[in-house]
């Protein structure tokens, strides 16, 4: 086996990587996963470190006048970064940003080199967990990564890397909390900045046309009152959903010079919850959405702007109003679109299938939530935190562990409810006591009773009712679905066919409609929005095919079926007229056979 730490032993960060002799050096795009870019299996399935570098120029004019920050939006899983051969920053946990003031490490008016060692190894104390073992292969011993989660462990520099500057007096952080009193919006803000007696904070709120609607001068903490506030509403619930104001924060010195400025988009809305409902602006919410993935051909989990916009166009087309960032935080750019469109987000940290609870894991799990909170706290689209997907919640230790994790996020944010996408059964689960909303993933007629489309509706009704009875909290279904080969048609319905997916969805809809009448059932999330790549296994054909859309974002029959339902829900719940092409769905061929 080759020496995995050779780069450290040979100080690769001290020189251009292209100068390395005898090493496998590739041109690699950033942002992107590295796995599917080359034609080599050993790159796709690589376990351990990969090294990136590049050179860049910093202008002389920045010297002594600015702080220069190097920001990585996400490197998966762990990163070590050097600038001009000197260690700049370390970070662990993918899907989350990190940054460092690198002013002292830069050459101004000259060339600089950034080197990144990126490690994709997942162990028992990483978030998510994995196991690495040495396997005997025909080509000698090799490291193999195994993991139980069901998406490909893409790695690399997944999101943009930027160098930005701030003045020497600068705004470090802004926290905004909004409330509504009658028709007045209340915007509470807290600005962290380099304090000094002669610096004040001038805060101005602009509406979406750029007209000033409120303002104040303070030492960083105050509230603005916005008369006749335009509230942030979810998509379909209002004719102008996703309404954003801009909170402009300026630092002024005594001469009224502007030392720094930051423009933070905000939405004015309230979130509240009871044991039966989740409310936005005091209106109960019903989620009709999806679980998703950041996943695309070639790019893997690399930021992919065209796919992001296509996905949101499809989401509008299908009339979904929500998604969960299953199973890790999504790119800032995705969250920006959700804020603007009014799509509601259940924001999930990267804990998947958590097992073997340890103190070290708990600390990292909490860190992932702290970092996620810091990044997304001001986003109106984020209406709930998901602190894990399908952890093994059946033991007492798991109960205590998740009590700690839930307490932690609540200590940071009391304004949003907390959930877990639970897979364990109602009777054994120990986590629900510590949550505000119960979400459960269930694959009736797929993993349970495959082929039995007649074993869905009653089971879902019974299970959801049991969750509510046990915990007396609002309940939603966070995953259900069926793998579906696009173009495979078998009638009567047979597993993996498009017909099977359609009927499986229908039989869930029947349950959801009965549950909606109960008053505590608050949402349905199909698994998955689109097909996505997974680890290689005999249960996956080119990946997980439970998407309503193919991996290249074309609709299967199931997508049309969900569109029909979500359009009817939008009409019933918010009186939104049906799409103009809705009559297509009323032709006999597309009416479900039960209705004929
Ligand atoms: C689940 C997981 C999800 C999988 C899905 C499936 O329960 O939460 O990550 O992809 O099932 O299709 O097996």
pLDDT of 196 reads 82
Pocket test for ligand 1, best of 326, 482, 527, 558 (most atoms within 8 A of CB): 527
Phi/psi of residue 533, each to 5°? -80, 145
Strand pairing category for 131-137 and 78-83: unpaired
pLDDT of 595 reads 44
Query: What percent of the chain lies above the pLDDT cut of 90?
Result: 93
Q: What single string gives the DSSP state of each residue in 143-190?
A: EEEE--SSS----EE-S-EEEEEE-SS-EEEEEEEEEEETTEEEEEEE
Confidence class of residue 22 from pLDDT cuts 50, 70 and 90? confident
Q: Does the pLDDT of residue 381 top 80, yes or no?
A: yes
Q: Is the separation of the CB atoms in 189 and 222 below 8 Å? A: yes
Alpha-carbon span 77 to 126, nearest angstrom: 9
Contacts of 594 by beta carbon, 8 Å cutoff, 6+ apart? 506
Which string of b and e fits 541-578 if b means at least 16 CB within 10 Å? eebbbbbbbbbebebbbbbebbbbbbbebbbebbebee
Distance from the CA of 422 to the center of ligand 1, in angstroms? 11
Listed range (58-67, 280-289, 333-342) with the worst mean pLDDT:
58-67
Q: 391-447: per-residue pLDDT in tens?
A: 999 999 999 999 999 999 999 999 999 999 999 999 999 999 999 999 999 999 999
pLDDT of 522 reads 98
Q: Does 307 sit in the ligand 1 pocket, CB within 6 Å? A: no
Q: 250, 390, 493, 499: which is the annotated catalytic residue?
A: 390
Closest CA to 292 of 554, 530, 482, 545: 530
Beta bridge mates, 177: 188
Closest CA to 482 of 457, 503, 462, 467: 503
Tokens in use for 219? 């030492």
pLDDT of 1 reads 65
Phi/psi of residue 53, each to 5°? -150, 165
Q: Does 565 sit in the ligand 1 pocket, CB within 6 Å? A: no
In 3-state terms the chain splits into helix, strand, coil percentages (rounded to 5) of 25, 30, 45
Average pLDDT of 100-128?
98
Q: Does the pLDDT of residue 201 top 50, yes or no?
A: yes
Q: Which atom of ligand 1 is nearest to the CA of 441?
A: 7
Q: Does 116 sit in the ligand 1 pocket, CB within 6 Å? A: no
pLDDT of 67 reads 95
Average pLDDT of 100-124?
98
Contacts of 572 by beta carbon, 8 Å cutoff, 6+ apart? none
Q: 519-576: per-residue pLDDT in tens?
A: 999 999 999 999 999 999 999 999 999 999 999 999 999 999 999 999 999 999 999 9
Alpha-carbon span 61 to 66, nearest angstrom: 9
Confidence class of residue 140 from pLDDT cuts 50, 70 and 90? very high
pLDDT of 585 reads 83
Q: Is the separation of the CB atoms in 353 and 441 below 8 Å? A: no
Closest CA to 469 of 426, 417, 522: 426
Closest CA to 157 of 75, 257, 249: 75
Q: Does 506 sit in the ligand 1 pocket, CB within 6 Å? A: no
Closest CA to 334 of 76, 94, 95: 95
Distance from the CA of 149 to the center of ligand 1, in angstroms? 8
Distance from the CA of 527 to the center of ligand 1, in angstroms? 8
What does each C-alpha distance from 592 to 152, 343, 585 come to in angstroms? 35, 29, 10
Would you call 390 a catalytic residue per the annotation? yes
Average pLDDT of 503-518?
98
Beta bridge mates, 40: none
Atom 2 of ligand 1, residue of closest alpha carbon: 150
SS (H, E, C) 412-464: HCCCCCEEEEECCCCCCCCCHHHCCCEEEECCECCCECCCCCCCCHHHHHHHH
Closest CA to 402 of 376, 421, 383: 421
Alpha-carbon span 546 to 537, nearest angstrom: 15
Q: Does the pLDDT of residue 592 top 80, yes or no?
A: no
Phi/psi of residue 345, each to 5°? -115, 130
pLDDT: which is higher, 357 or 233: 233
Average pLDDT of 442-463?
98
Return contacts of 567-571, CB within 8 angstroms, 24+ apart: 567/319, 569/286, 569/288, 569/319, 570/236, 570/288, 570/319, 570/321
pLDDT of 596 reads 40
pLDDT of 594 reads 46
Query: What percent of the chain lies above the pLDDT cut of 70?
Result: 98
Q: 260-311: per-residue pLDDT in tens?
A: 999 999 999 999 999 999 999 999 999 999 999 999 999 999 999 999 999 9
Q: Does the pLDDT of residue 588 top 80, yes or no?
A: no
H helical segments located in 257-331: 305-318
Kindly report the average pLDDT of the chain as a whole number. 96
Average pLDDT of 168-183?
97
Q: Is the separation of the CB atoms in 153 and 147 below 8 Å? A: yes
Number of H helices, E strands in the chain: 9, 29
Q: Does 483 sit in the ligand 1 pocket, CB within 6 Å? A: no
Listed range (2-6, 230-234, 348-352) with the worst mean pLDDT:
2-6
pLDDT of 459 reads 98
Average pLDDT of 84-106?
98
As a whole number of angstroms, the longest Cα–Cα distance in the chain is: 79
Alpha-carbon span 550 to 556, nearest angstrom: 7
Q: Which atom of ligand 1 is nearest to the CA of 546?
A: 12
Radius of gyration of the chain (CA): 25
Q: Does 484 sit in the ligand 1 pocket, CB within 6 Å? A: no
Strand pairing category for 418-422 and 382-389: parallel
């Amino acid at each position: 086996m080759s020496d995995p730490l050779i780069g450290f032993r040979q100080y690769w960060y001290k020189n251009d990587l292209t100068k390395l002799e005898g090493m496998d050096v590739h041109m690699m795009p950033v942002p992107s996963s590295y796995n599917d870019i080359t034609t080599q299996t050993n790159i796709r399935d690589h376990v351990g470190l990969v090294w990136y570098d590049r050179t860049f120029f910093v202008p002389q004019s920045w010297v002594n006048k600015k702080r220069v920050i190097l920001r990585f939006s996400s490197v998966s899983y762990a990163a070590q970064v050097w600038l001009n051969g000197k260690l700049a920053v370390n970070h662990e946990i993918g899907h989350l940003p990190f940054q460092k003031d690198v002013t002292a490490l830069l050459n101004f008016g000259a060339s600089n080199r950034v080197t990144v060692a990126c490690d994709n190894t997942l162990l028992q104390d990483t978030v998510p967990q994995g196991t690495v073992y040495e396997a005997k292969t025909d080509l000698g011993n090799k490291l193999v990564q195994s993991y139980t989660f069901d998406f490909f462990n893409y790695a690399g520099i997944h999101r943009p890397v930027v160098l930005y500057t701030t003045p020497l007096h600068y705004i470090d952080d802004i926290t905004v909390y909004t409330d509504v009193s009658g028709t007045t919006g209340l915007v509470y803000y807290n600005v962290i900045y380099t304090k000094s007696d002669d610096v004040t904070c001038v805060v101005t709120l602009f509406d979406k046309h750029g007209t000033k609607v409120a303002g104040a001068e303070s030492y960083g903490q105050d509230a603005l009152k916005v008369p006749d506030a335009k509230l942030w509403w979810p998509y379909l619930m209002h004719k102008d959903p996703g309404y954003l104001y801009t909170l402009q924060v300026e630092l002024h010195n005594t001469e009224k010079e502007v030392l720094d400025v930051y423009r933070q988009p905000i939405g004015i809305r309230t979130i509240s919850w009871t044991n039966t409902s989740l409310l936005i602006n005091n209106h109960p919410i019903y989620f009709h959405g999806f679980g998703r993935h950041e996943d695309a051909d070639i790019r893997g989990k690399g930021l992919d702007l065209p796919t992001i916009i296509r996905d949101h166009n499809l989401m509008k087309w299908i009339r979904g109003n929500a998604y969960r960032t299953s199973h890790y935080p999504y790119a800032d750019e995705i969250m920006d679109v959700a804020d603007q469109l009014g799509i509601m987000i259940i924001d999930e940290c990267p804990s998947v299938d958590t097992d073997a609870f340890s103190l070290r894991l708990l600390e990292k799990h909490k860190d992932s939530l702290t970092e996620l909170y810091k990044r997304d706290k001001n986003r109106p689209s984020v209406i709930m935190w998901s602190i894990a997907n399908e952890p093994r919640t059946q033991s007492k230790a798991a109960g205590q562990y998740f009590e700690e994790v839930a307490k932690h996020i609540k200590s940071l944010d009391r304004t949003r409810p907390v959930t877990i996408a639970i897979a364990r059964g109602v009777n054994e689960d120990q986590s629900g006591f510590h949550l505000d909303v119960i979400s459960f993933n269930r694959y009736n007629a797929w993993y349970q009773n495959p082929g039995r489309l007649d074993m869905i509706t009653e089971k879902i009704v019974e299970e959801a009712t049991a969750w509510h009875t046990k915990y007396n909290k609002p309940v939603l279904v966070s995953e259900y679905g069926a793998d579906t080969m696009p173009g495979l048609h078998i009638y009567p319905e047979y597993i993996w066919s498009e017909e099977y997916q359609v009927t499986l969805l229908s039989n869930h809809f029947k349950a959801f409609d009965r549950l909606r009448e109960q008053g505590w059932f608050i949402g349905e999330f199909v698994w998955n929005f689109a097909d996505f790549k997974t680890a290689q296994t005999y249960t996956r054909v080119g990946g997980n095919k439970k998407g309503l859309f193919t991996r290249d974002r074309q609709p299967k029959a199931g997508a049309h079926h969900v569109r029909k339902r979500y359009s009817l829900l939008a009409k019933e719940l918010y009186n939104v007229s049906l799409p103009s092409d809705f009559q297509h769905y009323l032709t006999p061929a597309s009416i479900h056979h039960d209705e004929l």
